[in-house]
């Protein structure tokens, strides 16, 4: 129960030469994206831990579908969803004028 309530969270970093974003505790050589904190939340989302998340970068299709099914479309509009984390990073950089 505790793991579901307070799950492992990892800060993700860009590791040169490795596809994707990875846990900084395993890849301290990784590079942070200036002005952006990328977190991975390792647990199912439910009422007890949902407040840990403010906005979403990447959601798996079934999770996104469930949120929309349950009327959360007003809070989680399409601009909150990106297929991979790298697309969310690029969108952030475009908005900040960095890309």
Tell me the pLDDT tens digit for each residue of 58-74.
Answer: 566 777 777 778 777 77
The residue among 7 and 97 whose pLDDT is bigger is 97
Residue 45 has pLDDT above 70, yes or no: no
Cα(41)–Cα(45) distance, integer angstroms: 9
Q: Supply 11's token pair.
A: 């800060």
Q: Find the mean pLDDT for residues 30-53.
A: 74
The Cα-based distances of 28 to 55, 61, 69 in angstroms read 25, 30, 39
* pLDDT tier at 21, thresholds 50, 70, 90: very high
- Does pTM top 0.85 for this prediction? no
* pLDDT tier at 20, thresholds 50, 70, 90: very high
């Amino acid at each position: 129960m505790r793991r579901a309530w307070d799950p492992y969270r990892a800060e993700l970093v860009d590791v040169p030469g490795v596809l994707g974003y990875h846990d900084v505790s395993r890849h301290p050589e990784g590079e942070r994206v200036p002005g952006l904190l990328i977190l991975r939340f390792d647990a199912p989302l439910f009422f007890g831990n949902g407040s840990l998340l403010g906005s979403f970068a990447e959601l798996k299709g079934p999770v996104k579908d469930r949120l929309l099914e349950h009327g959360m479309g007003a809070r989680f509009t399409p601009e909150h969803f990106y297929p991979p984390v790298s697309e969310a990073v690029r969108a952030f950089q475009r908005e900040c004028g960095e890309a």
